[in-house]
Amino acid sequence: MRLQTCRRHPRAGRFMATCPGCAQELHDIEQANRARAEAELSAKVRTALGLPGYPAADDESETARRVGMWSQYELSAVYERVGGTVTTRTVQRSTYGGESTWDATEITVTVDLPGIGTVEVFTDWYEEYGGRDLPLMQATPDAELIAA
Ligand SMILES: [Zn+2]
């Protein structure tokens, strides 16, 4: 087997089939393209939800197609704007360091946005905020709401 060198990456030395420098470049380009596509989709989704300028996801449970809201009020406003299907489920949340955990009711609006596809918008029910009469909550009247 003849060893090769790469003119663009002379410091990569001699290699069998693939220049490590070129492989790293390709990897970096793919990463950047993925990040850009995700950011573009995220901006499109937020605009379609009526939330232009809404901060990008920083929670690991969020993606471009899964958007977290501050409370049932913001989520209800989105639901009134774009419609969709409202579901609830019990989830376990924990403090940042995981010292304590608790059960919460996660409310999700699943909506099919034109030209974008299925998107989920969610929040946890906060009993203290109230809002059982919100259109969002009226759409899921039998939900068991945990007072988290
Ligand atoms: Zn190379």
Mind giving me the DSSP string for 89-119?
Answer: EEEEEE-TTSS-EEEEEEEEEEEEETTTEEE
Residue among 40, 29, 48 nearest 64 (CA): 40
Categorise residue 50: left if φ over 0, alpha if ψ from -120 to 50, beta otherwise: left
| Residue 79 DSSP SS3 | helix
Q: pTM here?
A: 0.81
How many Å lie between the centroid of ligand 1 and the Cα of residue 37?
A: 26
Q: How far is the CA of 107 from the centre of ligand 1 (A)?
A: 50
Are the C-beta atoms of 107 and 78 separated by less than 8 Å? Answer: no
* pLDDT value of position 58: 67
Read off the DSSP letter of residue 99.
S
**What's the CA-to-centroid distance between 20 and ligand 1, angstroms?**
6
What lies within 8 Å, CB to CB, of 140 at 6+ separation is 86, 87, 88, 107
In which element (H, E) is residue 40 found?
helix 20-48
For ligand 1, the distance from its centroid to the CA atom of residue 13, given in whole angstroms, is: 9
9-30: pLDDT as tens digits: 999 899 989 999 999 999 999 9
* Six token digits for residue 146: 């945990």
Q: Report CA 52 to chain centroid distance, whole Å.
A: 15
Report the separation in Å between the CA atom of 17 and the middle of ligand 1, taken as the mean of its atom positions.
11
Structural domain boundaries of the chain? 59-145
Cα(29) to centroid(ligand 1), Å = 14
- Expressed in angstroms and rounded, the spacing between residue 23 Cα and the centre of ligand 1 is 7
- Strands (E) across 42-84 are located at 66-68
Distance 135 CA to ligand 1 centre (A): 58
Structure tokens at 90: 């019990």
Which tokens sit at 67? 């958007």
CA of 36 to the centre of ligand 1 (A): 24
**Tell me: the pLDDT tens digits for 96-146?**
888 999 999 999 999 999 999 999 999 999 999 999 999 999 999 989 999
Q: How many residues does the chain have?
A: 148
Contact between residue 45 and residue 65 where contact means Cβ atoms under 8 Å apart: yes
